[in-house]
Structure 1
């Protein structure tokens, strides 16, 4: 019986679907008619978001939003700009309420990131550049940094 209770308490997650909610890719160099063979300096900004979906109590959305800017190392000309909002829909059970927020912003993005990485690689290649293979993202560090930033923001707002 204790084994049964322990089994029920185990978190369960299923990916119900994933999709691109919004995407933009601009090949700036091609628009200017300039060659695209310079060495790139790529900057990636990552934002995470999550919310409960209406209807089913166990369905959630988790999204990874990337803003990618590639500039030439010499000359600082922008090569391309890509923005993408990639969403996963999850069925989650057995996660305590106090752990749901980090679960949605760490574990869920970790599950869909490989698919987002492939999309970014394909789009940059199809856009006329070498495929951009994103480095792994440390979602735990991102989460901790965001919590620390919010706490600092709240403390400074409280003293103002």
Structure 2
């Protein structure tokens, strides 16, 4: 039977409940007797906007899935709104599942960063680098990396965002 002391969103102590009154004056108490305290989960590989493509053309080899289904759909549907709304859905699902941090690689990463900032989750967001043009997003690796650098500058100082270079074979 233990208690967690939180102040200003930070954990100050974890101690036996019997010792709580000796050391801390509670402003508020929440009793959760049939619960466990666990660390937040990390989803290390996501393409959050693809939450909208879940269940599309399952159970086929990866290359065939990408070339015959996913890439044509992405080319047709993908833009800032698709990415933002798909990321919003994925972030809500992750938060509900106990995920506190995710690593993402997708087109229009600035829209994903906007979702992260609004939601309170943490993310490492990839600046994509792949050698083919993708619709309105960009023409190739140099263009994608330049956009990524601008995104990084825009969100500089956001404590819940970090950056990766996301290479795609």
Higher-RCO chain (CA-CA 8 Å, sequence separation at least 6): 1
TM bracket (short chain): under 0.3
TM-score, normalised via structure 1 length: 0.26
More strand by share: 1
TM-score, normalised via structure 2 length: 0.25
